[in-house]
Every structure is written in C-alpha cells, then in structure tokens.
Amino acid sequence: MNQAAILAQVARIHGDRPAISEGKQVRRTYRELGERVARLAGALRNELDLQPGDRVALAMKNHPLFLEILYAIWHAGLAAVPINAKLHPKEFAYILYNSGARACFATPDLAGTLADAKSEAPDLVHLIAVDDPDFEALFRAAPIPAASVDPEGLCWLFYTSGTTGRPKGAMITHRSLMFATANYLADVDTIAPTDCMIHAAPLSHGSGLYAMPHVARGANNIVPESGGYDVEETLELIAHWPGASFFFAPTMVSRLINHPGLEDANLSNLKTIVYGGGPMYLEDVVKALDRIGPKLTQIYGLGEAPMTITGLPKSAYLDTEHPRYLARLASAGFARTGVEVRVVDADGKDVPFGETGEIICRGDIVMGGYWLNPDATASTIRDGWLWTGDLGAMDEDGYVTLKDRSKDMIISGGTNIYPREIEEVLLRHPYVYECAVVGRPHADWGEEVVAFVVPHPGKEIDTAELDRLCLDNIARFKRPKAYRVVTALTKNNYGKILKTELRDLLAKEAEG
C-alpha cells in the first residue's frame, strides 16, 4: 500500500529512465531517485528521530526536489503535509500548528516566512531549507527499506482552502492514494515509460497527485524552470518532450487556447490535458477541441476525495453523433470505477433525474475524516457517504452536471439561481474572455444577480449586448441586474476564481 514501495520497484525495472526533469534537463533517473529517497528516508527516521505517523510539511513552490522529499516521507512511514506556497504567513503558522508537523522542508523563497511561523508551532523541531548544505548532507545517511504501512493510516494531510473559516485537514489514507493511482490508469489514461507529466500546476495540490500514476509507470515528471504556468514556456516544453500530459484548472486551459502563439506551436507531442478543480464552460471545451484536438479528459474530485469522483473520458469528446453530445461535454462525466455517486435532497433521498441536489459519493477514495475535527467529519461523512457541498444533476445515463458549490448558489425572491448557467451564456459573447456571477444583497429579494466580466485584450464590451444575450437565452429573473467590466478576476493558487472576494465587495458596497 506504500507509494514508496512502488517507486522502489520502478527504480529496479526502469532505472535508467528519466524520473524528474527541470525544464528540458533530466535531473534524476529512477535509479538515482530510488537511492536518494531511501537515504533521505533513513535520515528522517534515524537522524531527525521522526517516528512512524509523524507529519512532515512541504512548504515548497514547484521544485525538482518536491517529489524526492514527498516519496522519502512515505518511504519512512511518515505522513506528508503539502502546503500551498502562496498562503499568508499566519496560514502557514496555523497549518504547521494544527498538523503538529515535526519537520518542514521549504524552498529558499519561503524559508524566512517559515522561520517566523515556527514560533507558533511548538511541535516543529526541524525546519530545513532545500538550498541549505545541511539538507544535502541528509542524503549521506544509510538507506532504509520502504516502511510497511497500515492501509487506513494517514498518508497525505490536505488542507482545504478555508474560504468558510479555518482550513480543515482532510486525512487521505494510503488506501485512498493507491486507489486513486490505480483508478487513473483504469479510467483516465494509459501511461508508457516514454511519456511525461509536466507540472505547471502546483505540486502541493492536484498536480502532485497526478505524479503518482506517472511514477508507477516509470514516466518522466517535469517541473518547468519557471516553477509555474507560463503559456509560452508550456508550448516549448510540449515541443521538446514526447507524450506530454498536464493537469490544468479550467482557467489554465482557457489561457492556453486563447494564446496568440498557439496557432504556430508544435503540439504533436501533446498527449492529454486532464482538467478539473472546477467546471469548465462548454464554450471553452468546444474551442479547445477545435484548437488542440481531442486531447481532453475531465475529472471531478475534492480534497476530501482527490481526483476520483466522476470523469468524462476521451471517448465522450469523440462521440459527436450522440444526441446529447453537447450536454455530455458540459457535464463532469459519470462515476469512476469503484465509486458510487448519488444526487440527493437535504434528507439524503435521491432526487429525480434532471433535478438539482447535492452530490454525495462513497468508495475507497473518500478521506478518513478531518484532522482533529470530529464535528466537521460527522457533518461531512454520513453513513459512509461524503457530502461534497457541490450541487448538480444526474441524467438517466448517470452523467452528472455540476451546477455550483452550494455556497455559490444565489437565492433571489425564494428562487434558486445557479451562476454557472448564466456564465455559460455570457461566454458566448465573442469579446468575453472570462466571467463570474455572484449574488448581491437586496432588501426585498434577498439577493440579486451581478456579473463580473473580463474582455479579451483590446476589446470593449457593450453591457447592453450582454443583457440582450441573457434575455434571449435564459429566464428574465436569472439575468444579471448589473454588469461590472473588469480587467481581471482574482484567483487562488489553483486557478479558481475567488467568488468570495466578489461577494464581500458587493456586500460592503451595500452597507454603504
């Protein structure tokens, strides 16, 4: 059940294959990676005196050493706590304190921030910057064999975004990560040792999870030199590395397909773009298929059930003759192998096909609970079912269409309004690059609809045209009562639009 045992096996079979690269340069073969992981694991146990089950944090931007450290943590029988590199110092301090992490590895840019946070995390004994000579000295330790682990034991402690309060630590077990790895290979994509995963999205989140099936198949994991997502750099890496796959948030796909250099780019090596982290608008899906070909596959998951609730396979994008082709492209697909998915009302009863309810799921992918938070666990996992907080509808074929997060739903005059439906319409306007629809407090109606829209560069948007577009396509009560044309929408580190900030802005304006 230990991911590190898989790495050790792959290191024997594919020892000479590239394991980790930076930009266009190979940094570690699988043989080198396996040896260094075993030595670092020995140092964690025997020199840093960490015990099985101890938590080890990774406060790192995307870096070639990230996966090396991650697998060493698992090799030693410890639990990883990857932390979003863009958090506020107080958020770093809270996660270190709450997780009880005894060690933390940091990239140089974050080492100072972590040093300040250390005073608020009494359990943190070791803070190690990866550019420090003391870090490289750890690899001189004697190697140890991969630890035998309890399948239900803590493997990855994933902290939620905390948009509704303090972030909660979702306890992902060894069984869950092994299930996710196998499920990717069964449902999402095949992987050959000659393929690669290019990690333009954060390794501390979804992209790090997608490294696991690529390691399991002896494929190359590539960190861009920028450490993040730059479209021009991404296109260069696609041209260089064969069998290239990515995990992208929908906004990252949008940036790629709207980039002026895409038309002249060499995309022959592009194998797969797995997108998730939020629904992608149908307009963008159709445009992506036109501009990059049938390279897409969608996943729907949560930090509490990582990357494995439903999926829309590549075959669905090719089935253009199906009478519900566009509706399927707009959906999040159907339940993944070994996962049960339902759409229910507040009492947990299945709603009729086509009606909106909350999406719940059950299976080995579901977290073990929230760290040190039994009340939150009890309200989120009921009778073995994970209540996702996402609203959606299921058709008779089992395809699930996401409507919105329950917190994003607008209630105006007692009627539920789903922002995504309005956003889909607004994106049909040729000058709208991206948009976000939220509710604004209203004395009589409770909330009213407001749309924030970003134009394509060099274009001006006539809001009267947007209004006409809405009136021509959706019920009058759903149409925005105001349009705000802005230059950009604030996003988090994973590319999700921060609707909370937009709602807060409108609420403050309403207060005067």
Residues 6+ apart with CB under 8 A from 453: 426, 432, 434, 435, 461, 466, 483, 484, 485, 486
Q: CA 284 to CA 403: how far, in whole Å? A: 17
Q: What residues of the chain score a pLDDT lower than 70?
A: 161-165, 406, 414, 493-494, 512
- Amino acid at position 246, single letter: F
**Cα 343 → chain centroid:** 22
CA distance 372 to 238: 43
Which helix (H) or strand (E) segment holds residue 402: the answer is strand 400-405
d(CA 215, CA 238): 19
Q: What is the DSSP string of 295-348?
A: -EEEEEEETTEEEEEEEE-HHHHH-TTSTTHHHHHTS--EEPTT-EEEEE-TTS
d(CA 356, CA 320): 26
In three state form, how does the secondary structure of 168-212 look?
A: CEEEEEHHHHHHHHHHHHHHHCCCCCCCEEECCCCCCCHHHHHHH
Percent of the chain with pLDDT over 70: 98
The fold of the 409-511 domain, in CATH, is: GMP Synthetase; Chain A, domain 3 (3.30.300)
pLDDT at 137: 97
Q: Are 247 and 234 in contact (CB under 8 A)?
A: no
Residue at token pair 């059950």: 362
Q: List, as own/partner pairs, every contact residues 284-287 make where C-beta atoms lie below 8 angstroms and the sequence separation is at least 24, other chains included.
A: 284/250, 284/253, 284/254, 284/257, 284/427, 285/329, 285/330, 286/326, 286/329, 287/257
Structure tokens at 240: 């260089």
DSSP 87-142: --HHHHHHHHHHHT-SEEEE-HHHHHHHHHHGGG-TT--EEEETTSHHHHHGGGSP
CA atoms within 13 Å, Cβ hemisphere of 120 = 15
CA distance 72 to 148: 13
Biggest distance spanned by C-alpha atoms of the chain: 70
d(CA 42, CA 50): 10
CA 186 → CA 7, 26, 281, 303, 387, distances in Å? 19, 28, 26, 21, 25
Show the tokens assigned to 490.
């604030």
Residue 182: its pLDDT value, please?
Answer: 97
Do 58 and 204 contact (CB within 8 A), yes or no? Answer: yes
Residue listed under structure tokens 């330790």: 141
What is the model's pTM?
A: 0.85
Q: Would you call 387 helix, strand, or coil by DSSP?
A: strand
Domain residue extents for the chain: 409-511
Those residues whose C-beta lies under 8 Å from the C-beta of residue 264, and which sit 6 or more positions away, are none
Length of the chain: 512
In the block, which residue shows the tokens 């290019």?
A: 198
C-alpha pair distances (Å), 132 with each of 26, 121, 128, 253, 268: 22, 21, 7, 36, 40
Q: Residue 29 in 3-state DSSP? A: strand
Give the integer Cα–Cα distance in Å for 168 and 162: 7
Whole-number Å distance between alpha carbons of 308 and 339? 8
Sequence-distant (6+) residues with CB within 8 A of 272 are 188, 189, 245, 246, 295, 296, 297, 314
Q: What is the pLDDT of residues 329-359, one digit of tens each?
A: 999 999 999 999 999 999 999 999 999 999 9
DSSP letters of 210-274? HHHHHHHTT-EEEE-TTSS--HHHHHHHHHHSSSEEEEE-HHHHHHHHT-TTGGGS--TTEEEEE
